[in-house]
Structure 1
Amino acid sequence: MRAEEPASSTEPATSTEQASGGASAPEPAGRGGRVRLGTGSDQYYDRLVRVAYLVMADATEPAGGAARRAGDDRIAQAHRMVRRSLPWQRPDEAAYLWLLARVVRRAANPPRFTLSLPGRWGRPVPDGAAPQRDRLLAALATLPTPVRTGYVLVVVERLPPRDAIQVLHEAGWPDPVLQVAAGVAEQQRLADAESISPARQRELLTGPITDPMTVRLRPPDYRTLRLVKLGRVATVAACVAATVAVTAVLAPRMAGFPPEPSDPTAPAGEPDTVGIRRVGDRAWLGAARPTLASWPTRGGRVDDTGLVDAALGSWLAVAELTGRDPAARAAAYGQPDPDDPDSTAGGGVAVPTRAGVVTAYAGRGIALAAPAGAAQLLYAGELAGAGADPPAEVAVLADATRVAVYASSGGTRSLRIEAAPAANPYAASAIRVTGSAGPARYLMAPWVRRVDHRVLAGGQWRELVVRDGLTDPVSPADPDPPPGCWSGPLLRVHPTDVPAGVPFTLADLGPAVLSRLTYLPPDADPGDAPADADDAGGARVWSGLGCLAGELAGHAPESILAWEVWSGTLPGGDDEIRLTCLRAELARDASLVAVALLVPGRPARAVATAADTRLCSPLAPVVALGWWWESPTGDWHHVAVGGGPVAELEVTIEGRRTRGTGILVSPAYPDGPRGPVQLRATDGAGRSVPVLD
C-alpha cells in the first residue's frame, strides 16, 4: 500500500503518457496488447487490486463498524490475491487479460477464513460520497459473482465486451456471454433503482474510497503492540524448535543413511485433497437448476487420498506443461506437432507427475488451465468389467466448465479433459467415464431413477443396472461400423421429476457429455416444441442418420434436432424419400446444420451444410432447400422444396425460370448438372426466405 498522494487520477498512466505528460487514464491492453513483467505487472497492479476488491464483495458482510473492518480485511486480502496471481516463472511478457483472468479466478473463490489483526495500519481515505457509494456497493454485493464480475470488467475497467467475455471464459465460468450481458444491463438497472447515473457509478467505484491503493496511515492500538511483542517471543521459540526438529530429522542421514530418491521431472507443487470439493447426497434436492455442481460425490474410493490426489495432480501438471509448451498443447488436442514432421495426430501428450507419466487428451476448444477454484469430486472407484484388466482406478473431477476423467490400470495412466455438460436437465443427466474404445460406462445424475439402452437401428430398450450412480458396461452397438458412421448406443433416461419426469433420449457420440436427440415431423416447423427422438416417427428417421451423426461426433454437440422438412417420391422411383435438416447445437452458441437425404437402400448423404447459422431453428423456421438428384434411370433433376410456411419457389437454370409451390423438379438432364442454379423463395407476405443449397 502507499500513503495518500495528490493525483488527478487513481489509475496508472501508461509509459507513453508519462513521457508526454498526459493525465488521462489508460485503457486496458486488448487481446493483442502485452506488457513486460516488472513494468506491466506493476503498471496494472492498482487496477488488479481494485478488481479483486470489488469482485470479492459479499452480501453476507456485516453492517456498521463491522462492515468497515470487513472492508479493511478485504483490501488486505485483495493485495494478497494479486501478489499471488503475478507469475513467478514466465517469458518476459504477459498479457494484461491473462493477469486479469488469474485475479478474477482467485477473487471469485476467496478463502473462507483469513487471519486479521485487531488493529490495522491503514484505512481507505474517506470522501463525501459515502451514502451513494455504500448503496452502490451494497447493490453490487447482492449480484451473483459472475454478473458482478462482468459489471466490474465492463463498467469499471472499461474492457470491451469481447475481452470481458474472454476473461470470464479463462477464469472458468460457464456462459460468459450471458454473464457479461447481465453485467452491462445491471449498469442501467442500478441507474434506475438507485438514481445513480452510469458515469457516476464508475466515478464512485474508482474514487479514493474504493481505491485499495490509497490509504490513510494511523498508529496501531495497544492490542496490536502487545501482539507484536508477543510475536517476537513466539518467533524466537519457533526458530529454536525448528532447529531441534531439523537436526533430529537430518542426523540419521548425516550418519550415513542415503537420501530418498526423487523424480527431477515431477512438478514442484504436490496437490492434496484440500483443493477438492465434495458434495452431499441430498444437495441436489435444494439446487435451483440441475447441474453437475449439485451431483453428490460417489464411489467406493472417495476417501482414497492417493487416487484423488493423483487425479488432481495430473490436471495441474497438464495445465503447467501445456501452458508453457505449445507443442504439448497441440498434442493434447490431438494435433500433430508442426515442428516435428514425424508426429501424428491423436496421440495425446505424455505428462510427468508424482504418480507417474500420464497421457493427457483434451476435447476440441477445451481450456487446459488448472481447475477454476476447488475441483469437485464426482466419482472415485474401480471399474471392473469395462474392458480393463486389471480393473481401472477412476476419479472424475469437474469445475464450472470442464470434466476431467483420470484412469489408472496396469501402470498406464490417462487423463481426459472435456467440456462439462450444459446447465439443463438433459445434458447434465449423464457423463461417460470410460474412453471411446471398448464398453462404455456412465455416471448418472442423482435425479435419474432408471436407464435403458439400445442401438440406433432400433430394437427393444433394455434396462441398465446402476450401482452407486454408475451403470454396468454397455458394449459398442456395432463393433465394426462403416468408416465415419455411428450406430449407438442410445440411452433412454427416466428422471424422477427433472424435467417433469418425462423420459428423453441421449446419444453417446464419444465425448464425455452425451447429446440429446429430438425430432420434428414434416407438418411442424422449428418453432414448435420438438418431440423426443424415440417418439412417433422419430425412431424411423433417426435410424437412417448414423453416418451423418458420426460426422458431427467430433464437434461434441450438446443436442441434435432432426427436422423432417419434406417426404415424398422423386422422378424415376416409387420409394418414399425423406429430406431432414439436422441441427447440432455446440458449445459457446456455435451450431452446425446438415440437410440429409434419406433414400431407402442407400446411406444418408448431406445435400447442404452450414455453420453458425439460425437456419432450421426457432429463430429461422422458414427455409428453402435445393439439390441435384440422380434418378435410378441415370437422369439428373434439380429439386427445390420449401420448409415451413414457404409460399413460392423460383428456380433459374441456364436462364430458364420456373415458379411453383411445395416442390419444383426440373426437366431431366441426361448429361448431368448444368451450370449454376439460382433459387429464390418467399413466404406468404412476400418476404425473402433464406436458402440452403
Structure 2
Amino acid sequence: MSSGPAEPPSDPSTEPPVARSAGAVPDRLPVPSRVRPGTPTQRHYDRLVRVAYLVLADSTEPLAGPGRRATDQRIARAHRVVRWSLPWRQVTDDEYLWLLARVVRRAANPPRFTVALPGHWGRPVPEEDDPQSDRLLAALTTLPTPVRAGYVLLVVEQLPPRDAIGVLHEAGWPDPVVHVAAGAAERQRLADTEGITPARQRHLLTGPLTDPMTVRLRPPDQRTVRWARLGRLAALATVLLATVAVTATLSPRLARFPPEVAGPAVDGTGAPAPDGIRRVGDQAWRGAARLSLASWPTRGSRTDDTALVTAALDSWLALAEATAGDPAARTAAHGATDPDGAAAGLAVRTGTGVVTAFAAPKVPVTAPVGAAHLVYAGELTGAGGSTATVAVLADVSRVAVFRTAGADRSVRIEPAPAADARAASAIRLSAPTEPARYLVAPWVRQVQSRSLAGGQWHELAVRSGVTDPVPAGHHAAADSGGCWAGPLLRMQVTEAGVDRPFTLADLGRVPLSRLSYLSPQRDPGQSVDDADTPAGARAWSGLGCLAGELSGHAPHSVLAWEVWAGTLPGRADEVRLTCVRAELPRDANLVAAVLLVPDAPARAVATAADTRLCSPLAPAVAVAWWWESPTGGWHHVTTSGGAVAQLEVTIRGQRQQGTGLLVSAAHPDGPVGPVRVRATDQAGRAVAVLD
C-alpha cells in the first residue's frame, strides 16, 4: 500500500488517476473545508463530470448510435450531479476518491423528476460514430447501474479493484466486491467477444465522443422555439398561481408538521431535521427497499433531548477533527478498541467537556457521511443499579454509541451491521463490561439467549425495542479456558422474508455476528444451516477460542463448514477439520482451516485473507497441513471438500494420488519440503488449496 498518491492528472485521457488501496479510502474522508478557485476539486471537475455522464447512462437513453437521444439531458444532469456533489469546503488531492464516491452516489440516485429540455440543443463532439464505440457504449447502457459504475471506475478512472470497491462501498452499495468483479468481467468480455481491448475501451471512453465538457451546439427547430416561448409565459403564470395557492393552503399547517417522518421515504429513511439529525418514523421500515439499520425507527425515552443528541453528534465530529491529518491520534483511538483491554482511548474536547473516543480497527474516524441517523436515545440500568444515558447515531457504514455514566463520557465508533434482515436485527447498547442488553429491529418478534456451550434457550423480554439483560451464565462457561463463550441470541422475525430462527453471536462489539454451519456432505454453494442445528451446535461449541480472536474484526457473519471428519495417525477417535470463513466490514474476509481434536484446543492449520475460499464462489477446496502423531512422527495430510475429484501430493519428488484423504508416510525428523499439492474437480479444473 502506497503512503500517498501523486496529484491525479487533470486530463483523464493522458494519465492514470490516483490509485491507492481500498483499505485507505475511508481514511481519506475527513470533513473538507470550503472550496476555492484552483483547488483539486475544480482541477478534476472534468473527470468527475465524465464519470457522472457515463454512470447516468441506461438503456432508455443510448450513449451513441443511430438511436442516440436525450444527450442534452444527460449532459445537463451530469454537470448538475457534480455541482451538487461538491463540498462547501476545500479538499486535497488525497481526498479525490472521497469526492469520486460522492459523485457516483448522486449519479446512481438522480432526481426522479426532471424537466426535459424540448428539442435537441447539443451533443458531444465529434458527431461521427465509430462502430466499435457504438458496440462498447451499447453494452455499457445495458449494465446494471452498480456494475456500470464499477466498470467506469476500473476502465475510465483506472482504479485498482480494491480502490473501486472502496468507492462503491462509500457510495452506499451493498456487495461492492460483486459489482466490481462484474465490471471487470464485462471489460474482459468486450475484449474477448467484441475485440475491443481494455486499452481501446479506455481510449474510446475518454475521447471526445463521451466528453460532456465539449459540446457541439445545434440550431433548434421551429417546434423547439415555439415551445420555449410558450414555456416562458406558462412558467410565469404557473409560478404566480402556485405561490398564491401554496400560501393560502399550506402555510397554516407548516407549524404543526411533525419533526419526524412517519412514512417511508427513499429506502425507508427520513429527512434530516433542522439540527442535522435524521429521524425515522415507526412504520418507515415497512416500505423500505431493503431491511437494514438505515430503516430502523428512532426509539428511546430521550429522543427529544436536544442536549443529549447534540452532545453525541459533537463527540463524533470532535473525534473526526482531532484525528484529521494526525496519524498518532488515529492510532490512539484505534488502539483502544479491545473491550477487555486497558487502553485509555483518545480524549477529545467538545463544547460540553472531554469525551473518551474509541474506534474499531480499520473503521474510519471521519465525520458522518450525510445527516446522521438517530437510532436510539435513552437510559439503561447497569450493574448495581447504576444508570447510563446512551445515544446511538449511524451513517451508511458506521455506528457511534455515545454514553454518559456519572462523570464519564465516551463515544465508540464501530462498523454498522450488514444491510441484511438477519445481520441488522440487533445491536448491543450496553458497555462491554456491563450485562448485555440489545436494541432489536422492529421486525424482530422474539429473542432468546444461551451460552456457546449449549443448554436451553432463555427468553429475553423486549420493552420498547430494548431487551432485558442477558443472564450472567450466558456470558461465560467454567471450562471456557478464557475463550469466548457467549452469549448467543436466537432471533425470530416477521415480515422480513426470513421464515426460520437464526443465531447471532455477541462478540463484544456493537454489531452482532450471524453464525451458520455446513455439514461435510455439502458445500458453500448450497444454502447454509443455522448454527443452532444439532450438528451446528456441536461444531460451534469447539470454536470459542477462534471466535474470540475474531471479535476484534467485528465480523458480519461467520460460517463453519465441516470439510472432513475421520481419524488420523495415532488417534482412534474422530478428528474434524472445519473451514471457518468470517465476512468482515468493508468487504474483507478471513478464512481459517481449524482442526478440532477431542480433549485438545482448536488449532488453525492454515489461514488466508481476502479470498474466495470456502464461499459460494469457491465451493470446492483442498486443505493441506502437517500432523504430529501422538505416537511419533510427522505426516503430511491433505483432504478436500465440495466437488474435488482428485488430489495429488508431491513431497521431495515422491508423488501420491487419491481422493478424499491423503496421508503421507511418517517423517521422524519433522516436516520436510518442498511439498506440492494439486487438486482438480470432475472437469479437470484446478481447485484452490488452503495450506
Change beyond 3 A, Cα 1:401–1:575: same
Q: Structure 1 unaligned runs (5+)?
A: 1-13, 18-22, 59-66, 113-123, 190-196, 212-220, 223-270, 337-343
TM-aligned CA deviation for residue 152 of structure 1: 7.1
Which residue in 2 is equivalent to 1:280? 281
TM-aligned CA deviation for residue 130 of structure 1: 14
- Provide the rounded CA distance (Å) in 1 between the counterparts of 2:285 and 2:150: 27
TM-aligned CA deviation for residue 289 of structure 1: 2.0
Aligned residue among 427, 432, 450 for 2:428 = 432
Aligned residue among 638, 652, 668 for 2:635 = 638
Q: Deviations over 1:135-194 (max 9, x none)?
A: xx9x999999877866776687676765554444455655444566678999999xxxxx
Give the secondary structure class of the aligned counterpart of 2:427.
strand
Identity of aligned residues (%): 57
Which residue in 2 is equivalent to 1:397? 393
Q: Deviations over 1:87-131 (max 9, x none)?
A: 5xx8xx75543554566678889999xxxxxxxxxxx98569999
Change beyond 3 A, Cα 1:367–1:429: same
Change beyond 3 A, Cα 1:658–1:389: same
Which residue in 1 is equivalent to 2:265? none
TM-aligned CA deviation for residue 597 of structure 1: 2.0
Report the AA paired with residue 320 of structure 1.
E
Which residue in 2 is equivalent to 1:451? 447
Q: How does 1:286-435 map to 2 (within 5 A)?
A: 286-334=287-335, 346-384=343-381, 386-387=382-383, 390-435=386-431
Change beyond 3 A, Cα 1:688–1:505: same
Q: After the TM superposition, which of the residue ranges 69-78 and 308-317 deviates more from structure 2?
A: 69-78
Q: How does 1:14-163 map to 2 (within 5 A)?
A: 27=15, 29-31=17-19, 38=38, 40-45=40-45, 79=83, 82=86, 84-87=88-91, 95-101=95-101, 126=122, 163=163
Which residue in 2 is equivalent to 1:621? 620
Report the AA paired with residue 84 of structure 1.
W
TM-aligned CA deviation for residue 601 of structure 1: 1.9
TM-aligned CA deviation for residue 526 of structure 1: 2.8
- Provide the rounded CA distance (Å) in 1 between the counterparts of 2:275 and 2:188: 40
Change beyond 3 A, Cα 1:278–1:523: same
TM-aligned CA deviation for residue 404 of structure 1: 1.1
Change beyond 3 A, Cα 1:53–1:355: farther
Give the secondary structure class of the aligned counterpart of 2:299.
coil
Assess if the C-alpha contact under 8 Å between 2:574 and 2:597 holds in 1.
yes
- Provide the rounded CA distance (Å) in 1 between the counterparts of 2:464 and 2:13: 57
Give the secondary structure class of the aligned counterpart of 1:84.
coil
Which residue in 1 is equivalent to 2:506? 508
Which residue in 2 is equivalent to 1:608? 606
TM-aligned CA deviation for residue 288 of structure 1: 2.5
Assess if the C-alpha contact under 8 Å between 2:645 and 2:681 holds in 1.
yes
- Provide the rounded CA distance (Å) in 2 between the counterparts of 1:570 and 1:373: 56
- Provide the rounded CA distance (Å) in 2 between the counterparts of 1:459 and 1:540: 12
Give the secondary structure class of the aligned counterpart of 2:383.
coil
TM-aligned CA deviation for residue 311 of structure 1: 0.9
| TM-score (normalizing by structure 2) | 0.71
Q: Deviations over 1:295-329 (max 9, x none)?
A: 11111111111111111111111112111321111
Change beyond 3 A, Cα 1:80–1:430: closer
TM-aligned CA deviation for residue 556 of structure 1: 1.8
Give the secondary structure class of the aligned counterpart of 2:332.
helix
- Provide the rounded CA distance (Å) in 1 between the counterparts of 2:665 and 2:78: 77
TM-aligned CA deviation for residue 467 of structure 1: 1.1
Assess if the C-alpha contact under 8 Å between 1:640 and 1:649 holds in 2.
no
Change beyond 3 A, Cα 1:413–1:54: farther
Change beyond 3 A, Cα 1:166–1:620: same
Assess if the C-alpha contact under 8 Å between 2:124 and 2:211 holds in 1.
no
Give the secondary structure class of the aligned counterpart of 1:537.
helix
Q: After the TM superposition, which of the residue ranges 636-645 and 345-354 deviates more from structure 2?
A: 636-645
Change beyond 3 A, Cα 1:624–1:175: closer
- Provide the rounded CA distance (Å) in 2 between the counterparts of 1:80 and 1:423: 26
- Provide the rounded CA distance (Å) in 1 between the counterparts of 2:143 and 2:649: 55
- Provide the rounded CA distance (Å) in 1 between the counterparts of 2:158 and 2:685: 41
Assess if the C-alpha contact under 8 Å between 2:402 and 2:410 holds in 1.
yes
TM-aligned CA deviation for residue 273 of structure 1: 5.4
- Provide the rounded CA distance (Å) in 2 between the counterparts of 1:666 and 1:157: 50
The number of aligned residues is 591
Assess if the C-alpha contact under 8 Å between 2:81 and 2:107 holds in 1.
no
- Provide the rounded CA distance (Å) in 2 between the counterparts of 1:607 and 1:69: 58
Which residue in 2 is equivalent to 1:491? 489
TM-aligned CA deviation for residue 43 of structure 1: 2.8
Report the AA paired with residue 19 of structure 2.
R
Q: Deviations over 1:427-453 (max 9, x none)?
A: 111111223223111111111100110
Assess if the C-alpha contact under 8 Å between 1:101 and 1:170 holds in 2.
yes
Give the secondary structure class of the aligned counterpart of 2:318.
helix
Q: How does 1:148-227 map to 2 (within 5 A)?
A: 163-170=163-170, 174-178=174-178, 199=204, 203=208, 206-207=211-212
- Provide the rounded CA distance (Å) in 2 between the counterparts of 1:579 and 1:375: 44
- Provide the rounded CA distance (Å) in 2 between the counterparts of 1:407 and 1:513: 16
TM-aligned CA deviation for residue 31 of structure 1: 3.3
Report the AA paired with residue 365 of structure 2.
L
Assess if the C-alpha contact under 8 Å between 1:174 and 1:401 holds in 2.
no
TM-aligned CA deviation for residue 458 of structure 1: 0.7
Change beyond 3 A, Cα 1:107–1:684: closer
TM-aligned CA deviation for residue 347 of structure 1: 3.1
Give the secondary structure class of the aligned counterpart of 1:575.
coil
Report the AA paired with residue 444 of structure 1.
V
Assess if the C-alpha contact under 8 Å between 2:646 and 2:658 holds in 1.
yes
RMSD: 5.1
Change beyond 3 A, Cα 1:444–1:203: farther
Report the AA paired with residue 284 of structure 2.
A
- Is 1:675 matched up with 2:676? no
- Provide the rounded CA distance (Å) in 2 between the counterparts of 1:55 and 1:407: 41
Assess if the C-alpha contact under 8 Å between 2:392 and 2:400 holds in 1.
yes
Change beyond 3 A, Cα 1:423–1:272: closer
Give the secondary structure class of the aligned counterpart of 1:588.
helix
Which residue in 2 is equivalent to 1:537? 535
Assess if the C-alpha contact under 8 Å between 2:402 and 2:411 holds in 1.
yes
Change beyond 3 A, Cα 1:419–1:674: closer
Give the secondary structure class of the aligned counterpart of 1:274.
coil
Give the secondary structure class of the aligned counterpart of 2:553.
coil
Report the AA paired with residue 297 of structure 2.
P
TM-aligned CA deviation for residue 284 of structure 1: 1.4
Q: Structure 2 unaligned runs (5+)?
A: 1-6, 22-27, 29-34, 59-70, 113-119, 129-136, 190-200, 217-231, 234-271
Change beyond 3 A, Cα 1:442–1:513: same
Assess if the C-alpha contact under 8 Å between 1:85 and 1:102 holds in 2.
no
Aligned residue among 584, 587, 595 for 2:585 = 587
Report the AA paired with residue 306 of structure 1.
A
Report the AA paired with residue 383 of structure 2.
G
Assess if the C-alpha contact under 8 Å between 2:400 and 2:411 holds in 1.
yes
Give the secondary structure class of the aligned counterpart of 1:301.
coil
Q: After the TM superposition, which of the residue ranges 350-359 and 641-650 deviates more from structure 2?
A: 641-650
* Structure number with bigger Rg: 1
